[in-house]
Structures are given as structure tokens and as C-alpha cells.
């Protein structure tokens, strides 16, 4: 799964982290460590404060690099690649990959299949996996859609069984889920202040070292800088947007990478981006994709039924919907004061 360097700016935190791993200490400043690197097809940066932060970030980096090795759809050595290119119907995966698949299946069920880890054959038909984009014929989609069905994935311990032709893709959840694992590891190492950004999936521990909230900037789908700033502590912020990866087809229409598993077509329901704010980064990532597929009305009912996360929805006609609990923690940028804002409660 290719992501351009544009995704670096997807959701940025307003905090300058240096490149490479280093620990800074002087008499007045707290201990701080930074690391930035490229993995999981994206730019990753992490900053942590406190004793042991240097070593803890090294371990977090190793965890992320290991996840990439297991989950890549393009690396012939990865577990997912080997599963997708299997000769038999079943294959064994590691504990970590089995846990991610189990999580994905739960989220697929909870979202009534709006998220489906078996989406890969349809993504390939659109060329999103090779960057040789094309509009697939309806016949081709009709032939592939029966393979996009998470109910047909069987997971027994570490044994994964798939129907012939089925292929998995964790692109919708891997960064948020792995970011959460890295965050959990930092917490276990005693880190009480940190911010991680995996290609725009931002996860935070506590607030800044001075106790104030982290300030996370949301990218505007319409250019003109940032849409606004979220002030958060101990939360993850994940955005899915149709502007992240798309191509213009031979028919002149724009086709993006978030696919409705029911139709095989890019979800088209008036949304341009969905930002989820939640305690768990894996859930935030899964829901950002799933609620984008659902569209604004279903996303609202889904939120009303659960209320264990918050969201910011942006529509093509420049409306912004924000759930009430997060309203006071979001500040729109000057450039977007004319947006119509509706608070959902």
C-alpha cells in the first residue's frame, strides 16, 4: 500500500520533534527523546518525556518495524503476503497478527461490514495496490465482491482459513492498532507524557511535559493550511479522507481509496473526511474508515448508540459536524470560520 509523502501532513501535531533519536537534558528542561523514521509506508515521529524515554522509544520503534514486517501486503516475507499468496486454504500466523485479525473481525461485525479486512481484491481491481489505477468493469466487480466478506474468514487460534481467491488488507487499521501497541508499551515503561504520529494517526500519553494538553492540527481537505486544532490528553486522533489517495478516471471523475464493501465502489455519500477521537488508536483507525463508508447519517446513529468516541465529519458542501463532548476542545482556524458547524448530541 503506497502512501505519498503528502500523508506526512495529514494530521500533524503542533510540536517540533527533531529527526533521529536523541535525548536532551539541561538544568531546566525535562528529559525528552525524539525519533522519526519511515515505516508502514509512512512517516512516523514519536516524542516522549521522562526518565527512560530514550530506551522506551527505541523499543517502540522496534515494535512498529516488526509490525510492518508482518503486515506488509507487498513484502514477500510478510505474514500477510504469504497468507494472500497461499497455495492451501489455510495458514498459520503469529500471535500478534492473529490478535490484529481478531480485532479487525470484531470491528467488521460492529460496523456491519462497513470495515472489511477482506477488501484487498477490490482494491487491486481499482489499482490502489499497484498505483496502476483504472475503473474496473461492473462484471469484474461482480465477480470479486463475493470474496469481500469477513464472515468467510475463519480464525482458530493462530490458524487463518480463507476461501479461494480471498485476500486480506489491514491498511484501514494497522497504523492505529500498531500505534496503540507502541503507546501501551511506552506506558508500561513508565512514560507519562508522549505523542506519536504514524502517518497522521496521532496517539498521546498524558499531556505535554508542562501538563497542558497536546495540540493536534487537523488537515484541511481544501488546502489553505489547517482546518483547526484539537487540544487533547490521553487520546488518539485518526482521520480518513477521500483526498488522501485518489485518481481521476478516464471518465473524468475522481475515485478515492475508501471502498464501500457492499458496492465495490469508493464510498460516495457527501463526506470528505472523518476524524475519530478515542481512547484506543486501533478503534479510532477502524472507525475512521468504517464511518467514512457509512456516511453522515449512519455515522451519527452509530455514535449515538455507542458514545465511547467522538468525531468530526466534514462534507463536500463545507459543513462540519462535531460531537458535543469534544466541541470545546476544537478550535477552527481563522480561514474556516465561514464553515457551517453543527454540534451533534
In the complex, which residues of this chain contact ligand AMP (CB under 6 A)?
A: 1, 115-117, 119, 123, 128, 169, 171-172, 240, 257-259, 261, 285, 288-289, 293
Three-state DSSP class for 315?
strand
Q: How far is the CB of 122 from ligand AMP (least distance, A)?
A: 8
Q: Which of 129, 193, 289, 323 binds Mg ion (CB under 5 A)?
A: 289
Q: How far is the CB of 80 from ligand AMP (least distance, A)?
A: 12
Nearer to ligand AMP, 78 or 231 (CB): 78
Encode 60-72: b = buried (16+ Cβ within 10 Å), e = exposed: bbebbeebbebbb
Q: Are 135 and 250 in contact (CB under 8 A)?
A: yes
Decide which of Mg ion, ligand AMP, none touches 181; Cβ closer than 5 to 8 Å per partner kind. none
Nearer to ligand AMP, 48 or 230 (CB): 230
Q: Is residue 242 part of the contact set for Mg ion (CB under 5 A)?
A: no
Q: How far is the CB of 34 from ligand AMP (least distance, A)?
A: 25
Q: How many residues line the site for Mg ion (CB under 5 A)?
A: 4
Q: Is residue 275 part of the contact set for Mg ion (CB under 5 A)?
A: no
Decide which of ligand AMP, Mg ion, none touches 70; Cβ closer than 5 to 8 Å per partner kind. none
Q: How far is the CB of 199 from ligand AMP (least distance, A)?
A: 8
Q: How far is the CB of 50 from Mg ion (least distance, A)?
A: 30
Task: Round the CA-based radius of gyration of the chain to a whole number and report it.
Answer: 20
The stretch among 58-66, 141-149, 286-294, 316-324 that binds Mg ion (CB under 5 A) is: 286-294
Q: Is residue 285 part of the contact set for Mg ion (CB under 5 A)?
A: yes
Give the residue among 6, 47, 339, 59 at the shortest CA–CA distance from 215: 47
Decide which of ligand AMP, Mg ion, none touches 167; Cβ closer than 5 to 8 Å per partner kind. none
Sign of the alpha-carbon torsion through 274, 275, 276, 281:
positive
3-state secondary structure 167-204: CCCCCCCHHHHHHHHHHHHHHHCCCCEEEEEECCEEEE
Report the distance separating Cα 258 and Cα 246, nearest Å: 9
Nearer to ligand AMP, 34 or 244 (CB): 244
Q: How far is the CB of 252 from Mg ion (least distance, A)?
A: 28
Residues in the chain: 345
Max CA-CA distance within the chain?
68
Q: How far is the CB of 116 from ligand AMP (least distance, A)?
A: 5
Nearer to Mg ion, 280 or 285 (CB): 285
Q: Is residue 172 part of the contact set for Mg ion (CB under 5 A)?
A: yes
List helix spans (H) across 19-169: 53-71, 79-84, 95-110, 120-125, 138-144
Nearer to ligand AMP, 115 or 144 (CB): 115
Q: How far is the CB of 171 from Mg ion (least distance, A)?
A: 8
Decide which of Mg ion, ligand AMP, none touches 68; Cβ closer than 5 to 8 Å per partner kind. none
* Residues numbered 200-239 forming contacts with Mg ion, rule: CB under 5 A: none
Give the residue among 332, 299, 300, 292 at the shortest CA–CA distance from 316: 292
List all residues 6 or more positions away from 313 whose beta carbon is below 8 Å from its beta carbon: 271, 273, 274, 275, 291, 296, 299, 320, 321, 322
Report the distance separating Cα 243 and Cα 231, nearest Å: 24
Residues binding Mg ion (CB under 5 A): 172, 285, 288-289
Amino acid at each position: 500500500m503506497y502512501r505519498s509523502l503528502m500523508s506526512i501532513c495529514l494530521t500533524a501535531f503542533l510540536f517540533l520533534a527533531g529527526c533521529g533519536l536523541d535525548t536532551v537534558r539541561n538544568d531546566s528542561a525535562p528529559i525528552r527523546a525524539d525519533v522519526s523514521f519511515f515505516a508502514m509506508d509512512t512517516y512516523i515521529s514519536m516524542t516522549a518525556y521522562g526518565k527512560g524515554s530514550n530506551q522506551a522509544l527505541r523499543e517502540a520503534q522496534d515494535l512498529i518495524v516488526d509490525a510492518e514486517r508482518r503486515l506488509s501486503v507487498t513484502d514477500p516475507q510478510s505474514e500477510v503476503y504469504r497468507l494472500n499468496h497461499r497455495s492451501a486454504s489455510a495458514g498459520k500466523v503469529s500471535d500478534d497478527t492473529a490478535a490484529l485479525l481478531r480485532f479487525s473481525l470484531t470491528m467488521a461485525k460492529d460496523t456491519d461490514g462497513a470495515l472489511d479486512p477482506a477488501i484487498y481484491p477490490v482494491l487491486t481491481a481499482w489499482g490502489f495496490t499497484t498505483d496502476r489505477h483504472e475503473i474496473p468493469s461492473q462484471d469484474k466487480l461482480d465477480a470479486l465482491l463475493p470474496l469481500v466478506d469477513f464472515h468467510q474468514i475463519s480464525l482458530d487460534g493462530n490458524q487463518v482459513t480463507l476461501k479461494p481467491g480471498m485476500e486480506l488488507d489491514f491498511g484501514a487499521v494497522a497504523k492505529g492498532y500498531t500505534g496503540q501497541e507502541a503507546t501501551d508499551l511506552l506506558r508500561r515503561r513508565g512514560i507519562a507524557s508522549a505523542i506519536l504520529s504514524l502517518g497522521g494517526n496521532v496517539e498521546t500519553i498524558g499531556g505535554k511535559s508542562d501538563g497542558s494538553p497536546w495540540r493536534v492540527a487537523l488537515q484541511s481537505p481544501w488546502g489553505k493550511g489547517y482546518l483547526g486544532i484539537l487540544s487533547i490528553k490521553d487520546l488518539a486522533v485518526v482521520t480518513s479522507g477521500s483526498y488522501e489517495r485518489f485518481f481521476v478516471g478516464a471518465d473524468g471523475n475522481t475515485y478515492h481509496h475508501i471502498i464501500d464493501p457492499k458496492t465495490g465502489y469508493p464510498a460516495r455519500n457527501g463526506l470528505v473526511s472523518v476524524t475519530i477521537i478515542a481512547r484506543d488508536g486501533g478503534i479510532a483507525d477502524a472507525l475512521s474508515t468504517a464511518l467514512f463508508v457509512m456516511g453522515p447519517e449512519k455515522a451519527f446513529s452509530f455514535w449515538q448508540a455507542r458514545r465511547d468516541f467522538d468525531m468530526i465529519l466534514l462534507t463536500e458542501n463545507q459543513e462540519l459536524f462535531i460531537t458535543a463532548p469534544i466541541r470545546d476542545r476544537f478550535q477552527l482556524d481563522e480561514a474556516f470560520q465561514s464553515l457551517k458547524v453543527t454540534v451533534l448530541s
